[in-house]
Amino acid sequence: MTSMYEHVGGEEALRRVETAFYDKVLADPVLKSLFPERRPHHVDHLTWFTAESFGGPDRFSRELGFDYLIAVHRHLKITDEQRERFAELYMEAFQEAGLLESAAFRDAVRSHVEFGAEVAQQNSHAGTDEELHPIRAVPRWTWEG
């Protein structure tokens, strides 16, 4: 079975998707409060996370760790509208890159982004560590491709 990482064409293809996605969220009025300014390493971090979760190298875990991901979402108070818009723009970026032609892959990407957005939203409202989502490692996503 081909990993999702291999299916998209590796890190450079994911970097193109994440760059397009990041441009979208920075310009989006619904997400502006979550993404108020361009951060120099944000595309790198998005790319590393997606690559690892799609079955590629574990650079996100090695260089940043999952605690970093929890920390950047803490106290953001992500709304349902923001969570849904985030997922919508993520899917748009993959679609525009021509990577969602396979229904199985499209479903896997949608599942991945919706799960991640739900985890981020929960963590953004957590007042204590006990209220955080229990996941503490980058999830490995698979598909029937």
Residue 74 belongs to domain with CATH number: 1.10.490.10
Annotated binding residues, as ranges?
A: 45
**Inside any domain, residue 144:** no
**Inside any domain, residue 142:** no
pTM of the model: 0.96
Q: How many structural domains are present in the chain?
A: 1
- In this predicted structure, what is the pLDDT of residue 1? 83
For 114, the domain range is 4-125
Annotated binding residues for heme, as ranges?
A: 45
Tens-digit pLDDT string for the chain (145 aa): 899 999 999 999 999 999 999 999 999 999 999 999 999 999 999 999 999 999 999 999 999 999 999 999 999 999 999 999 999 999 999 999 999 999 999 999 999 999 999 999 999 999 999 999 999 999 999 998 7
CA 89 to chain CA centroid, Å, is: 11
Question: How many other β-carbons are positioned within 10 Å of the β-carbon of residue 98?
Answer: 8
Look up tokens 């890190």; give the residue. 11
